């Protein structure tokens, strides 16, 4: 059985302190406070219902949900009859949702924003920065899964670039 991976080293998943390496990741913003909290929550859950062959990559917080981007055996984050994800939601104090961490940017964006129709994804390159503009059909504005602000912030974390949602 392959153990699961989080943004922390294996040891730090199950303790309160961070090792020097993980501390460095946090202070350089490679990982976030939220991702540390989620990693520890997963470490706790995995003791009773082992998460295997799976990796937790990133977490973002929208208004009423914390979205976890994961890869591998996603079912082991969910658990039998959804028990693990329910437990996770309880620990985090907010509904947890698992989505696939994929290199397919459009799929990730679609998973996050909900059932809005994407007209186009535009990349604006400027010296030292990239900006992503997601064009969404105007009539689908009310189908956004969360507020535009929180989605833009979350997408910025996930895509690694400043992101704007535009209704056209
Ligand atoms: Zn560590």
* pLDDT tens for the chain, residues 1 to 168: 667 999 999 999 999 999 999 999 999 999 999 999 999 999 999 999 999 999 999 999 999 999 999 999 999 999 999 999 999 999 999 999 999 999 999 999 999 999 999 999 999 998 888 999 999 999 999 999 999 999 999 999 999 999 999 999
How many Å lie between the centroid of ligand 1 and the Cα of residue 37? 13
pLDDT score of 51? 95
How many Å lie between the centroid of ligand 1 and the Cα of residue 151? 29
Give the Cβ contact number of residue 135 at 10 Å.
16
Q: Do domains 11-99 and 105-167 have the same CATH topology?
A: yes
Confidence (pTM): 0.93
Q: How far apart are CA 130 and CA 5, in angstroms?
A: 29
The per-residue b/e assignment along 156-166, b for 16 or more CB within 10 angstroms, e otherwise, is bbbbeebbebe
Q: How far apart are CA 135 and CA 118, in angstroms?
A: 6
pLDDT score of 1? 61
How many Å lie between the centroid of ligand 1 and the Cα of residue 147? 34
Instruction: Please say whether the structural domain 11-99 has been given the CATH code 3.30.300.20.
Output: yes
Taking a C-beta distance cutoff of 8 angstroms, is the pair 135, 168 a contact?
yes
Domain residue spans of the chain: 11-99, 105-167
pLDDT score of 3? 78
How many Å lie between the centroid of ligand 1 and the Cα of residue 23? 7
| CATH T-level assignment (fold) for domain 105-167 | GMP Synthetase; Chain A, domain 3 (3.30.300)
**Order of strands, edge to edge, in the sheet holding 129-136?**
118-126, 129-136, 162-167
Q: Is 6 helix (H, G, I), strand (E, B) or coil?
A: coil
How many Å lie between the centroid of ligand 1 and the Cα of residue 28? 14
Reading phi first (left if > 0) and then psi (alpha if -120 to 50, else beta), residue 159 is in alpha
Euclidean distance between the first and the last CA atom of the chain, given in angstroms as a whole number? 49
């Amino acid at each position: 059985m392959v153990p699961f991976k989080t943004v922390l080293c294996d040891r730090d998943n199950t303790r309160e302190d961070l090792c020097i390496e993980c501390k460095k990741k946090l202070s350089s913003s490679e990982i976030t406070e939220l991702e540390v909290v989620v990693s520890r929550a997963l470490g706790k859950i995995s003791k009773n219902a082992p998460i295997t062959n799976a990796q937790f990559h990133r977490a973002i917080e929208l208004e009423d949900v914390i979205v976890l981007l994961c890869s591998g055996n996603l079912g082991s984050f969910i658990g039998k009859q959804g028990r693990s994800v329910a437990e996770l939601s309880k620990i985090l104090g907010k509904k947890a949702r698992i989505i696939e961490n994929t290199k397919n940017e459009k799929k990730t964006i679609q998973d996050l924003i909900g059932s809005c129709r994407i007209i186009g994804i535009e990349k604006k390159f400027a010296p030292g920065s990239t900006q992503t503009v997601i064009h969404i059909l105007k009539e689908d504005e009310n189908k956004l899964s969360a507020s535009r602000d929180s989605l833009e912030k979350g997408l910025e974390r996930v895509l690694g670039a400043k992101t704007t949602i535009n209704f056209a």
